[in-house]
Chains A and B, each alone.
Chain A
Amino acid sequence: MPNAIEVDHVSKRFRLSSERHSDLKGRIVNRRRAKTVIEEFWALKDVAFDVKEGSTVGLLGHNGSGKSTLLKLVGGILRPTSGEIRRRGRLASLLELGAGFHPELTGRENVYLNASILGLSRRDIDARFDDIVGFAEMERFIDEQVKHYSSGMYVRLGFSVAINVDPEILLIDEVLAVGDENFQRKCLDRIKRFQKDGVTIVFVTHAPDLVRQICDRAVVLDQGEMVIHGEPGEAVREFREHLLGRAAEVLDKVEPTKKHGELVRVTDVAIEYPEADRPYVRNGESATIRIAFDASEPVDDVVVAIALHATDGHVVFGQNTWGLGEKVRLEGSGEIAFELQSVSLLEGTYFLTVNVHTREGARMLDIREQLDHLDVLNHDGNYAWGVADIPVKLDLSKLGGGT
């Protein structure tokens, strides 16, 4: 199989400046100082891999790992600082659904505009128009102005246009996370059909589950560096381990802020998994969060709180010592452990926030925001999705029909 995409030792540098000087005055005034103001930041460092024609590759990494940057480079939206990207075949990118939809135009007009942005000719669009509208289930609203659409309708129409472009290479950026469950299922089916038709697919995700489900290969990125390019299972394992290793590194580097941590300092947070050689918990297993602290003088009536956040920042679970009916007095150095007796969560990474405050006046003593995280893996055969793992019993006895 020839390669559809070759990523040849690609690096990408962004220039960040605390203040953007995109006006003339700023440019002139800051010309001298420009060098010091601008901060360089390598979003990608020497990334190299090939994608075989007709294969599906997942780009795994957490926020800021450079996976979206890589996708934009492959899509020709950004240009690499060094290295080269070679592509063969007609490209469609689902970087954002309905990019370029104009609110004042009708759905019909926008379909034509959007499809021509993606490279379809008018005749092609005429031929596919009914398919596009049908897939999006938008027949009734297609002649309405897009500004009256709900966000779900917007996304459905955008996706529908994009997949009807008949790409040879398809780039997908976490768009599968939108739309309702029914539509997501439909999208996934469509992607599987693309795979059968020999379309090369590159997609970005931080859902390892999806990678195992549909990818032939996976690339794991961390802080712009390629950690591994290999089999999905292998890559997912590496992804988890690497994430964990890096979190520990970050932890060492972080100094407690001056303001907080004067009286009480959280010196260490450790998550204890059920088995020592397995840095994750399966649904329903237990895990222990150990918080080591150091109090420079005795403090009475302290509340120690923990919270787990999903990757999108939502709090999934929160609890504290006061809520558990305990009054805490900190003195010298010591440790507090929260044993989560049953982690009823589904597969994913959950970031941990720990804070220590006084109950009276709620004075913050120390806080560690999302430096640590809890990894949850599904039991084999657990196909539920979402965040909460709720045991379900199915009753089919009243189904009727054959016995």
Chain B
Amino acid sequence: MAGHLADIWSYRELLANLVRKELKVKYKNSVLGFLWSLLNPISQVIVFTVVFQIVLKNTIPFFPIFLLSGMLAWNLFALSLAGATGSITGNHQLVNKVYFPREILPLAAVGANCVHFLLQSIVLLATIMVTGVGFDWRWVWLVVPALAVLLLLTSAFAIFLSAINVYARDTQHLLDVVLMAWMWVTPLVYQWELPAKKLHEHGIPASFILVNPIVSVTVTLQRALYQQHYVGAGAAREPMLPMNGQWWYLRNLGIIGACSVVVFILAMRLFHRLEGNFAEEL
């Protein structure tokens, strides 16, 4: 295990080059180029705002900030997995002919989406500045552990899925369906308290939502970046996000982080076991 990580580390320049390649190839010959990376979340904001604020009349204040603070992380997660799943099968000419640690391929897909994520975060930060909502500095630091856990979780799944897909090519199609459903059960477009209340009515504690591992990350990011914690006015005023202290958020991240480490180790093990036959299966 340690040997594998060292092996991957020694090929970090290849990882950087593959990330660069992926980005270059994606925007080659397009007029707007990298701007597309920014236009994507902007269009998401427009569509979801029209549908949820105007058509469905939800009253979340500063909805774009709320949406982006969770959705950007989700996009990083979902697009990385989609990209990583086909990364070994899509690069069969490389896998068949040259030796390098194969984990580099799914990791490069994650890396490319990290670059998009960083660019898109500029859109989010700009929106926060422009609207004048500002930051609560006592909470913003939670972004760091949240992103670390997100990266670990994403990498673990990415490595796992890329290896599985070599043997069962249905994985990539199945993944599309799963990711769509997964997005809607994650409180990204709606607030945490909505499912929490429903669960409460059935006598289930709200923390059940945390079974979905990505929620610990997105809800922390929402709490850290989005300053409006209440929806409605007067007597109807109610909280949107869990009103627990920072430790609650940190504890959740810790649990998911620990699980991610375990999943990561298992994924690497599985990958290594399957890897020996990649060249034959492709």
List A residues at the B interface (Cβ < 8 Å): 14-15, 22-25, 27, 72, 75-79, 91, 93, 95-96, 99-100, 102, 104-105, 109, 112-113, 116-119, 121-122
Contacts and interface: CB of A to CB of B under 8 A. Distances in A.
Helix, strand, loop or mixed for chain B's interface?
helix
A77 B98 contact: yes
Interface in B151-174: 166-171, 174
Interface of B: 11, 13-14, 17-18, 21, 24-25, 28-29, 91, 93-100, 166-171, 174, 275-277, 279-281
Contact of B94 (A23, A99, A122): A99
Nearest to A20: B281
A116 B276 contact: no
B171 to A, nearest CB: 8
A274 to B, nearest CB: 44
B276 A119 contact: no
Contacts of A104: 24-25, 28-29
B202 to A, nearest CB: 34
B13 A122 contact: yes
B94 to A, nearest CB: 4
Contacts of A102: 21, 25
Given A72-B279, A105-B21, A121-B13, A77 B97 contact: yes
A113 B21 contact: yes
Given A102-B21, A109-B24, A113-B17, A77 B99 contact: yes
Given A22-B168, A23-B169, A99 B93 contact: yes
A78 B17 contact: no
Given A95-B98, A121-B13, A109 B93 contact: no
B100 A78 contact: no
A93 B100 CA distance: 11
B168 A77 contact: no
12 contacts: A22-B168, A23-B169, A27-B168, A77-B99, A78-B276, A95-B96, A96-B96, A105-B24, A113-B18, A116-B13, A116-B17, A117-B17
Most buried by A among B17, B99, B167, B279: B99
Given A100-B93, A109-B21, A78 B168 contact: no
Nearest to B171: A24
Given A24-B171, A93-B99, A99-B98, 15 more contacts: A22-B167, A27-B167, A27-B168, A72-B279, A95-B97, A96-B96, A99-B93, A100-B93, A100-B97, A104-B25, A104-B29, A116-B13, A117-B14, A118-B98, A122-B13
A354 B276 CA distance: 43
B13 A105 contact: no
Contacts of A122: 13
Contacts of A99: 93-94, 96-98
Contacts of B170: 23-25
A119 B104 CA distance: 13
B168 A93 contact: no
Contacts of A27: 167-168
A23 B280 contact: no
A109 B98 CA distance: 18
A76 B99 contact: yes
Contacts of B168: 22-24, 27
A93 B25 contact: no
A15 B280 CA distance: 9
A24 B177 CA distance: 15
A82 to B, nearest CB: 12
A379 to B, nearest CB: 38
Contact of A112 (B17, B98, B100, B280): B17
Contacts of A100: 91, 93-94, 97-98
A104 B276 CA distance: 30
Contacts of A93: 97-99
Contacts of A109: 21, 24
A23 B89 CA distance: 13
A339 B13 CA distance: 63
A117 B279 contact: no
A91 B279 CA distance: 18
A105 B277 CA distance: 30
Contact of B280 (A24, A78, A105): A78
B118 to A, nearest CB: 21
B21 A77 contact: no
Contacts of A22: 166-169, 281
Lowest 4 A-B CB distances belong to which pairs?
Answer: A79-B276, A99-B97, A76-B99, A24-B170
Given A100-B91, A100-B94, A119 B11 contact: yes
Contact of B25 (A72, A91, A105): A105
